[in-house]
Amino acid sequence: MNGRRCLRRFAVALATALAVTGCSGGAGGEAKHKNATWDYVALGDSVPYGVGDVAGRSFVGIYAHFIERDTGASVRVHNLATAGGTARDLLGQIRDDPKVRRALKGAEILTISIGGNDLESHLGEYASNRCGGRDNQMCFRAAVAAFKPTWAAILAEVLRLREGKSLIRVTNDYNPFPGNGRAAANLGKGITDAFTPYLRQLNQQRCSSAEHTGILCADVATAFNGANTNESAFGKGLIGKDEFSHPSAKGHRLIAQILRDLGYHPLD
């Protein structure tokens, strides 16, 4: 019995050590694609673009590094994200920008991170009591309703454009307001309670629509803010101190790790 306990303790200790050193992630660390070169296209807003990342790169570069380390392939990154972009902006890019369309047609890897600005662009209306409705939240409800068909159109365009086997991942959004004293001062103490339900709805739309088409969703919201999207990501060191509360270097690394943990099917 003592020998079995020791073996179990050794197995637990080994698993813990592997997790801490990062050797357990993704696809098992096999270099079976060492002769391959993959193009990785990142679409979205200021988070994949890298605003606020003092380390000089967003989760996109970190994720590309993980892919190379886990699979042995070389990864060429094409970061086509735009700071301040909305879902409608992205749909226009995909439909009308030849550069974006060419990149998507040849991409083996694609991540899409969009939607935060669709809600946050209405914060000024909320703060000045111009959002509409008796509860001053009509503009948030309208934004969620408008996002749904736009997001469906984005996914449909992407699936039409991709050629061959492609790894496609989407992310949902973290909540920047719990524990954010600056936001409370500028937008009112009730901003977290007002904003959070609509963010949950938007996140649910993003993930459920993507997964319905076979695209996996990286649950950034739960990792940053807990199951109810209302825990402070500031206290976890996942959000930086820039004006718009973008992820810190630690936050970007966590997003990349969440993507990594989804594996590399169908490329593997």
| 48: CB partners within 8 A, 6+ apart | 42, 58, 59, 60, 79, 81, 111, 113
156-186: b (≥16 Cβ within 10 Å) or e? ebbeebbeeebbbbbbbbbbbbbbbeebeee
Confidence band, pLDDT 50/70/90 cuts, at residue 180: confident
Q: Is the pLDDT of residue 117 over 60?
A: yes
- 35 CB burial (10 A radius; 0-12, 13-18, 19+): exposed
Q: Is the pLDDT of residue 11 over 90?
A: no
Contact 175, 196 (CB under 8 A): yes
Share of the chain above pLDDT 70, in %: 85
Query: Is the model more confident about 97 or about 185?
Result: 97
Query: Is the model more confident about 241 or about 201?
Result: 201
Mean pLDDT, residues 76-82 taken together:
96
Q: Which pLDDT score is estimated for 5? A: 43
Q: Which pLDDT score is estimated for 257? A: 98
231: amino acid identity, one letter: E
| 15: CB partners within 8 A, 6+ apart | 24
